[in-house]
Amino acid sequence: MSEPVTIALSKGKLLNPTLVLFRNAGYLSSDLSLDDRKLVFEVPEAGLSFLIVRPVDVPTYVEYGAADVGVAGKDVLLEQELDVHEPLDLRIGWCRIAVAALRGADQRPRLSSKLRVATKYPNLTEWYFNQQGTPVEIIKLYGSVELAPVVGLADRVVDLVSSGQTLKANNLRETETIAESTARLIVNRASLKMKHQAMTTMIHRLRKSRPKTVRA
**CATH number of the domain residue 118 falls in:** 3.40.190.10
Are 139 and 189 found together in one domain?
A: no
Phi-psi region of 59 (alpha: psi -120 to 50; beta: other; left: phi over 0): alpha
| Per-residue pLDDT, 108 | 55
Confidence grade of residue 41 (pLDDT, cut at 50, 70, 90): confident
Number of separate domains in the chain: 2
Q: Is residue 51 part of a domain?
A: yes
pLDDT tens figures, 62-117 = 999 999 999 999 999 999 999 999 999 999 999 999 999 999 766 555 555 789 99
Enclosing domain of residue 203: 5-93+182-209
- Which amino acid is it at 66? A
Phi-psi region of 152 (alpha: psi -120 to 50; beta: other; left: phi over 0): left
Q: Is it the case that residue 208 has pLDDT exceeding 80? A: yes
Calculate the dihedral angle through the C-alpha atoms of 139, 56, 211, 176, rounding to the nearest 10 degrees. Answer: 10
Q: Is it the case that residue 139 has pLDDT exceeding 90? A: yes
| Per-residue pLDDT, 166 | 87
Confidence grade of residue 2 (pLDDT, cut at 50, 70, 90): low
| Per-residue pLDDT, 28 | 87
Q: pTM to 2 decimals?
A: 0.89
Q: Is residue 25 part of a domain?
A: yes
Are 167 and 126 found together in one domain?
A: yes
Q: Is it the case that residue 32 has pLDDT exceeding 90? A: no
